[in-house]
Amino acid sequence: MRDPARRPLLRRGLAIGAAVALLAGPGSGAPAAPAPVGTPTARAPHSVTYDGYSFLIDGRRTYLWSGEFHSYRLPSPDLWLDVLQKMRAAGFNAVSLYFDWGYHSPAPGVYDFTGIRDIDRLLSMADSLGLYVIARPGPYINAEVDGGGFPGWLSTKPGDNRRDEPRYLAYSDEWQRRIDRIIARHQFTNGTGSVIQYQVENEYFDNGPDGRAYMKHLEDRAKADGITVPLVGNNNGAFQTGHAALDVDSPDSYPQGFDCSHPATWRGVPDISRGRLPDKPLGTAEFQGGAFDPWGGPGYDKCAELINDRFADVFYKQNIAVGATLQSLYMTYGGTNWGWLGMPQNYTSYDYGAAISETRRLDPKYHQDKLIGYFAQAVAPLTKTDPLSAAPTDNAGIVDTARANPDTGTQFHVLRHADSTAVTRDSAHLTVDAGGRSYTVPQQPGTALTLDGRQSKVILAGYDLGKARLRYSTSELMTDAAIGDQDVAVLYGDHDSDGETVLHYATRPTVTATDGAATDRAATGGAVTSTWDPTTGDLRLNYRHTGLTRVRITGGDRPLLLLLADTGTAKTFWRQDTAHGPVLLRGSHLLRGAASDGTTLALTGDVGTDGAIEVLGPAGALTWNGTKVSTHRTDTGSLTGTVPTAAPVTLPALTDWRHTQDSPEARPGFDDSGWRVADRNISNSTTGPVTLPVLFADDYGFHTGSTWYRGRFTGTDAETGITLTTQSGGGAAASSAWLNGTFLGSSTTDGPTTYAFPAGLLRSGGDNVVSVLTVDMGHEEDYEASNGNKAARGLLGASLLGAPPGAVTWRLQGNLGGETPVDPVRGPLAVGGLHGERAGYMLPGYPTKDWTPTRLPATDPTPGVSWYTTTVPLDLPAGQDTSLGLTVTDDPSRRYRAEIFVNGWHLGNYVNYLGPQHSFPVPNGILDPHGTNTVAIAVWNLDGSTGGLGEVALTAYGSYASSLAVGQNDSPRYDSGRYEP
């Protein structure tokens, strides 16, 4: 695995060369390429441009608050909508999408963009939600996926990857042409979608002549394919200028690295602005939103703790402090390395400790992202700022990094600890020059601004809060909007902390506080006092952040409603914008959408156990998930009501298991005449064969999961054993060997293992068969552009001890169909080559009546593979989004591993002795919450004593009354005509 410390941004900062001509592109006003054939009728011409401050969309400066999502890690298209709605609800206005070449291409020239691979559908969904798309098609993506996104078949081809190499480029062109066709028709610039950027390659740092020629080739391909949006990169600035320069080349930054085992230990904030160019906007193509976790690692809860809400608070605001107007958080929803999708180092879950968990729950960080996202969307002056030299605070332990908008004068004072890792509680006063005056903030005697441990605050000053002018506020602004006849703003601060907001008015306005109308703060805690200075026109509100206090100020150009909240309460607000104006909702679990036709405000969303809501929005009747809500109007103009809550979920136990042994390949008499003969003596792999012939699984068309080998030799009595060199990759390697049907043993490390032949087993003068089960845990990434994906999998060599080389003839077999998978719906990375997989045991409808009834937990001393299966009917509450999974519980000393299938989909690689993953989410769409589900588990016992299978149970991760409706995937059932008998 890569050492994060070697990441170029951390290692050498931003590499920026001398400025040369920019690439022609939309950003530089070049004419758009003709629309590709099949483009839907354009709505109107649109533009995506940029300058030194920000991207401009149709000429409007836009703060891009973006999150990374991989549809291939969520094999249920209706759940894409769930994730994208959750992102939109948290204020994300953009989504960054990698497209995984290998996920779409089982063989050269063969591409699939249907079903769970329907990128058209994904891009239309993003557009319909108002999410801009940063499209990242590679060809290389890294992303902790198999081969870094390179197809399995590419691992066998000659020619260096990621170079100006005609053989490689012929293949990458093929991919780009296919994916670009889809991306092009969803471009914002064509008026037919929301794609606003196209990323070329991924973290490509070779900006020498060869690397630049390669990049130029990819860029030219994209343009020839009709890509007219800005071409961007995440190469830490290597391609900001010079030949093959991109429109904008931004840094990636993972300041905490990827070891989640010490989640409380922080590294300091980076400065992503180092080396920025004056004519290009500053942003992060990827900024840490979590971390991946290796086999045997501490688990994703720890990653969520390392990259927690406090991390988001301090680090994302630091990026604001240095002027970033694009932040893309990697990952915002991580998902699942289902099937054989992942790289070998990681296990099935790619939860990433992200803001939205693999089980689709909202992590506390989600709400912190929401606070920042709403702020960045609401406060338009943030999109154009210059550094402002602010006077130091009166506490050297707290720094104020300030910026100001040159047109509006709006200031952003970003406060954090000087030592950004500090956990102390410190207070300070800062100096704010606003409206021609200099303020020491806060002004109230005996109060100060406090940072409680790892925390950051953006103090806003000189801002038009609707029709009122904000001098400054020590509360942070979550959002503001004109709603109905008033301007509304949500301001927040730590629970029980002092707040102070100063507004400028020409004449003294009237201040009414509700929910604590008394003016004696000492007595009520939540109350507000106000002071008026007629000489300056300053209205100062003094208050404490406790729960929610509403302050209505009238007498200015428009009434202003300030919702003063403690941070916990602020997080209960949701905002959506409708054709008839914005909506602020307090309460519910999630506000997915809002629409207004002028007479009815239709809200959709999720509710757990608390149905109380309060809405500020366009006038009219209110519906929630299509049902009318009876409401009460409050004196601040909001509507209150109650919406239906979620019903409890009860889950059935998994019973009636059936079991069958299934390693026929180990039996001496097994018919392997249909298997591929290992007959190659050369390979394009980067791994040198240990013995000949070449035994690498990939070279015979098997790129995923298990591959069996059978080696035949005539015994002479001299053979004493065999040395087998195997390579699974990653931290969960495994192989097992048999001689003439007798188990020799297993290895759980890559490399050579010598098995002595037990006395009396060898048939002298007769046929002997060595059977070997191997597993490909995924192809290596190619981070260094050194053909990493071409490292071999399976058997690397076999030496019969006591026999001359070449005495054994080998055959091998992997997944059914090889590069033409028999099940194109589940696709190229879905299954491996176990006998049961080739026979269709995992599929719904497979006849198991001859299998042995059993119950779990079970013990089984037979080494090798056996299968457990059962069906489970579900009848979960209707109108509810319930997230379910399967949890395996067992004593880790038992040496077995298991592949977990639900309704034919491989959703878990479980390694009992290694972990850390025990619970495997099953997405709805694959799981049928209102029907019968088939669970099939292939267990591989690595020894002859501790095998079997532990307890297996359904787990509910959360259930909400919801507008989300999930259709069932096409899940092909068992078909005896397709699978092996």
Residues that bind ligand GAL (CB under 6 A): 141-144, 202-203, 234, 252, 286, 292, 330
Angstrom distances, CA of residue 401 to CA of 11, 388, 417? 24, 8, 11
- Residue closer to ligand GAL by CB (options 340, 783) is 783
User: Least distance from C-beta 674 to ligand GAL, angstroms?
Assistant: 39
| Identified catalytic residue from 68, 165, 203, 837 | 203
At 78, which helix (H) or strand (E)? helix 77-89
- Residue closer to ligand GAL by CB (options 344, 836) is 344
User: Least distance from C-beta 258 to ligand GAL, angstroms?
Assistant: 7
For residues 514 and 497, give the distance between their C-alpha atoms in angstroms, rounded to a whole number. 19
For residues 333 and 399, give the distance between their C-alpha atoms in angstroms, rounded to a whole number. 33
- Residue closer to ligand GAL by CB (options 235, 735) is 235
Q: Distance between terminal CA atoms of the chain?
A: 41
User: Least distance from C-beta 307 to ligand GAL, angstroms?
Assistant: 11
Q: Which residue has the tokens 């079903």?
A: 115
Concatenate the DSSP letters of all residues of 849-860 into one string. Answer: TTSEEE-SSEE-
The Cβ of residue 159 has, within 10 Å, a number of other Cβ atoms equal to 15
- Residue closer to ligand GAL by CB (options 354, 643) is 354
| Identified catalytic residue from 286, 665, 719, 837 | 286
DSSP code, position 72: G
Report yes or no: 823 and 804 within 8 Å, Cβ to Cβ. no
- Residue closer to ligand GAL by CB (options 68, 433) is 68
For residues 703 and 782, give the distance between their C-alpha atoms in angstroms, rounded to a whole number. 16
User: Least distance from C-beta 826 to ligand GAL, angstroms?
Assistant: 24
Grouping H, G, I as helix, E, B as strand and the rest as coil, residue 212 is helix
At 542, which helix (H) or strand (E)? strand 538-544
Q: Which residue has the tokens 């998994």?
A: 654
- Residue closer to ligand GAL by CB (options 257, 877) is 257
Grouping H, G, I as helix, E, B as strand and the rest as coil, residue 425 is strand
- Residue closer to ligand GAL by CB (options 343, 470) is 343
- Residue closer to ligand GAL by CB (options 141, 461) is 141
User: Least distance from C-beta 785 to ligand GAL, angstroms?
Assistant: 13
- Residue closer to ligand GAL by CB (options 4, 593) is 4
DSSP code, position 48: E
- Residue closer to ligand GAL by CB (options 144, 487) is 144
- Residue closer to ligand GAL by CB (options 721, 916) is 916
Report yes or no: 204 and 23 within 8 Å, Cβ to Cβ. no
For residues 300 and 110, give the distance between their C-alpha atoms in angstroms, rounded to a whole number. 36
Q: Which residue has the tokens 């729960």?
A: 547
Reading the block at residue 781, the tokens are: 């990434």
Grouping H, G, I as helix, E, B as strand and the rest as coil, residue 676 is strand
- 286: annotated active-site residue: yes
To 5 degrees, how large is the angle CA 348–CA 354–CA 357? Answer: 65
User: Least distance from C-beta 100 to ligand GAL, angstroms?
Assistant: 11
Angstrom distances, CA of residue 925 to CA of 74, 80, 249, 478, 845? 10, 11, 38, 36, 18
Residue 796's beta-bridge partner residues? none
- 500: annotated active-site residue: no
The Cβ of residue 633 has, within 10 Å, a number of other Cβ atoms equal to 10
For residues 694 and 806, give the distance between their C-alpha atoms in angstroms, rounded to a whole number. 11
- Residue closer to ligand GAL by CB (options 80, 292) is 292
Reading the block at residue 666, the tokens are: 């180990």
For residues 177 and 185, give the distance between their C-alpha atoms in angstroms, rounded to a whole number. 13
- Residue closer to ligand GAL by CB (options 72, 492) is 72
To 5 degrees, how large is the angle CA 519–CA 520–CA 526? Answer: 80
Angstrom distances, CA of residue 606 to CA of 281, 323, 630, 647? 37, 35, 18, 12
Residue from 48, 49, 63, 294 nearest 916 by CA: 294
Reading the block at residue 318, the tokens are: 């630091």
Reading the block at residue 875, the tokens are: 């009848």
Q: Which residue is nearest to ligand GAL (CB)?
A: 142
Report yes or no: 528 and 542 within 8 Å, Cβ to Cβ. yes
User: Least distance from C-beta 203 to ligand GAL, angstroms?
Assistant: 5
Reading the block at residue 593, the tokens are: 């959408």
Report yes or no: 782 and 150 within 8 Å, Cβ to Cβ. yes
Residue from 648, 616, 613 nearest 627 by CA: 613
At 521, which helix (H) or strand (E)? helix 521-524
Reading the block at residue 121, the tokens are: 């559908």
User: Least distance from C-beta 298 to ligand GAL, angstroms?
Assistant: 16
The Cβ of residue 792 has, within 10 Å, a number of other Cβ atoms equal to 28
Report yes or no: 818 and 909 within 8 Å, Cβ to Cβ. no
Residue from 545, 518, 547, 546 nearest 530 by CA: 518
Report yes or no: 126 and 135 within 8 Å, Cβ to Cβ. no
Catalytic residues: 203, 286
